[in-house]
Structure 1
């Protein structure tokens, strides 16, 4: 009977929550990386060098870094429904405002403000999932949520490329229309969030009474089981050595993810294909990675193993970047970028299942936000370095090697963390099962 209630409840909350948050992340990621497609024509229109583009694309993450932890603490205090709605409306307005940048300074300011506005969204959703899904279900659900990023690239690439063709409509160029039209869904969904989301299981009127009672008891039992070992205070989330280690691991995966998001269209374009062709080719790797990520994370949940699922995925992404650096054909480049996509996508869900094994409450809010804010600075380092190297050498090659090295470092740090914390990890995985 208990197992039947669990299955029913998990099915119901998964269908209620996961498709919706995937849609939100789809829009978030699209608005975050569509600068990569805008740059296909924006660079020439505004006279941007690769260094200006890379720095401006990456400065988004400094806004993210500075406001991430305060934003997640606010979400924990005020509830996801109100705070995520605020985040989405704010970033929608600023994302649309990107259409009116006129030079490097306004470009840098708007990208920084976009990062500040969106701060708290991703770690807020990760925290939100920890309110609704027991630990043994969390990697699989996190994978479904995070699948929205590669799906966003797959569907958003041809859409963004098509919008670039709207040159001259109402006096605006294509990249301006792309920013404006791709910002509209964030504004609409921000309003929908306020009425659709439910902050906590106790408030879920859409669950049957026995399902709600089972879920509330299960989540309370999980918190109680961590009472002796888990950290709960805000300071614990900020200062925990494992949080800092996970942030450094996430740094490498973020460098890889945003290297793809910002620069993959430019790298493919170098092979001499049209912008529309770039849109369709750039959609292939993330489609494959979605399937791999879901299967990989389910295997991680089934076995209860996290460390090697992160390590092997990071190594695969690093190999893909090295191969991409030397690729001189469309087939070879897309195959290499597919391996990079698979590796980065597969590393993230098991990685994000680790913090809530040893943190809860306010510590989980600050810990997750700390990992995401520090780790996402890799989204500055990777794209900015590639832009700088491109201007200096005329090639993407050494910039891709740099990002590959960061991913290898992430793999090594994951192994060192597992080795140094082995007793605690065993206890945490026992609790999860």
Structure 2
């Protein structure tokens, strides 16, 4: 027996409230552990005498570790289930993140950041694949957007939280940045244990769904998969053969270059334009504003994309907005102007993610979908390394952030064109036009 429209909407609301807040919390912790080094950058550089190149390399090498293991990790998730695999990921990365408090040299910084990437590999792509088990395409951009505002709100939470922890500098003989890694790493281990008890692998295992709701949702997801053509492309090899995936990979590479320039360099960029007149604590607080704006606009763009059933133009428009932001930041000479410019860049980069991941997961199903998300994460991981490394090298070479920001702006324009060049597979197009 099917569900009418009102009951279907109620079901999706129920799923959203049961899954998204908890996944949101997990991703906030994930994101903080990944980028907290950015909030502590100035203190780490001062205490350990790291150059911009050393900092940028260490910050970015995380993404190489993640990229190498994203695909096998995501394939393991489909074999052993999301609950067990996500718990394993979180516990291991919590341990490594905590160990960062013991680094003493550039070499230990590189090794621990690389191992953090290895331990964390598969978390984000696994979460995206997990959402496809619960939401059909027409509901997915909103669901992904609600989940992904965790990345921007992590910046809102991370700034004040990191500032407060950094003020513990000297307490019990530990530097502020050491307290930061300790206090943000240990909760991850506890949350990883909680996943074993709170997450369910599939709707069939959810005790909070009725038998009728499970049956209807299963039929709806199958119908959606067949209508989009994803059901016909479910093997891992299908992901590698899909041309649209590789076009999207180019756009995603650029987006991740930009995302981690914002995440890992924004406090230093704002400090540079203020000429050191503003304290690091205030800079960290000001850095929350771009993330807050990005969180709001991520929801708006996700809603708009689902309402219009359109993905490419939404992605392209967001990338163009980020290009404007980075170009503006490159020529900014005051703190307020630079903050406004970085806000535009952040809004564009974060807001594109709902439509982007919906477009990607609508083309493939099963193992192919898991493989596709992992492939994009591998490419994105290279972008995540490139952004911090490129910015650090150019900063040391030119004593300015202008060159790196202008390069990023041009790359964002190219990425927007790539998004518009994406063509859905023929089987999908046929369904749409029929």
Q: Distance in 2 between matches of 1:250 and 1:208?
A: 38
For structure 1, the 5+ residue unaligned runs are none
Q: Could you tell me which residue of structure 1 aligns to residue 55 of structure 2?
A: 53
Aligned pair in 2 of structure 1 residues 429, 389: CA closer, same or farther (>3 Å)? farther
- Is 1:359 the equivalent of 2:364? yes
Residue pair 1:358, 1:428 contacting (<8 A) in 2 also: no
Q: Could you tell me which residue of structure 2 aligns to residue 107 of structure 1?
A: 109
Aligned pair in 2 of structure 1 residues 312, 86: CA closer, same or farther (>3 Å)? same
Q: Could you tell me which residue of structure 2 aligns to residue 410 of structure 1?
A: 415
Match runs of 1:206-285 below 5 Å: 206-226=208-228, 230-270=232-272, 271=274, 272=276, 273-285=278-290
Deviation, 1:375, is 2.1
Q: Distance in 2 between matches of 1:344 and 1:427?
A: 31
Residue pair 1:249, 1:375 contacting (<8 A) in 2 also: no
Residue pair 1:5, 1:211 contacting (<8 A) in 2 also: no
- Is 1:379 the equivalent of 2:403? no
Residue pair 2:70, 2:378 contacting (<8 A) in 1 also: yes
Deviation by residue 1:364-417 (Cα, 9 ceiling, x = unmatched):
111111011112311111110000000001111101111112211211111222
Q: Could you tell me which residue of structure 1 aligns to residue 207 of structure 2?
A: 205
Q: Could you tell me which residue of structure 2 aligns to residue 189 of structure 1?
A: 191
Q: Distance in 2 between matches of 1:429 and 1:44?
A: 57
Q: Distance in 1 between matches of 2:427 and 2:53?
A: 44
Q: Distance in 2 between matches of 1:74 and 1:227?
A: 24
Choose which of 249, 270, 291 in structure 2 pairs with 1:286: 291
- Is 1:178 the equivalent of 2:183? no
Deviation, 1:223, is 3.0
Q: Distance in 1 between matches of 2:432 and 2:366?
A: 19
Q: Distance in 2 between matches of 1:235 and 1:228?
A: 13
Q: Distance in 2 between matches of 1:40 and 1:429?
A: 52
- Is 1:64 the equivalent of 2:66? yes
Residue pair 2:230, 2:365 contacting (<8 A) in 1 also: no
Q: Distance in 2 between matches of 1:95 and 1:37?
A: 14
Deviation, 1:427, is 4.3
For structure 2, the 5+ residue unaligned runs are none
TM-score (norm 2): 0.96
Deviation, 1:227, is 5.7
Deviation by residue 1:26-77 (Cα, 9 ceiling, x = unmatched):
0111111111111111101111000111111111111111100000000011
Deviation, 1:167, is 1.4
Q: Distance in 2 between matches of 1:288 and 1:428?
A: 37
Secondary structure, in 3 states, of the residue corresponding to 1:147?
Answer: helix
Residue pair 2:301, 2:314 contacting (<8 A) in 1 also: yes
Deviation, 1:128, is 0.2
TM-score (norm 1): 0.96
Q: Could you tell me which residue of structure 1 aligns to residue 127 of structure 2?
A: 125
Residue pair 1:22, 1:146 contacting (<8 A) in 2 also: yes
RMSD of aligned alpha carbons: 1.6
Matched positions, count: 429
Bigger mean CA deviation after superposition, 170-179 or 265-274: 265-274
Q: Distance in 2 between matches of 1:34 and 1:286?
A: 14
Q: Could you tell me which residue of structure 2 aligns to residue 299 of structure 1?
A: 304
Deviation, 1:161, is 1.6
Deviation, 1:224, is 3.8
Q: Could you tell me which residue of structure 2 aligns to residue 146 of structure 1?
A: 148
Aligned pair in 2 of structure 1 residues 122, 228: CA closer, same or farther (>3 Å)? closer
Match runs of 1:87-106 below 5 Å: 87-106=89-108
Aligned pair in 2 of structure 1 residues 430, 78: CA closer, same or farther (>3 Å)? farther
Q: Tell me which stretches of 4 or more aligned residues in structure 1 moved more than 6 Å.
A: none
Deviation, 1:291, is 1.0
Residue pair 2:234, 2:365 contacting (<8 A) in 1 also: yes
Match runs of 1:311-322 below 5 Å: 311-322=316-327
- Is 1:163 the equivalent of 2:172? no
Q: Distance in 2 between matches of 1:22 and 1:429?
A: 32
Q: Distance in 2 between matches of 1:208 and 1:229?
A: 26
Residue pair 1:318, 1:404 contacting (<8 A) in 2 also: yes
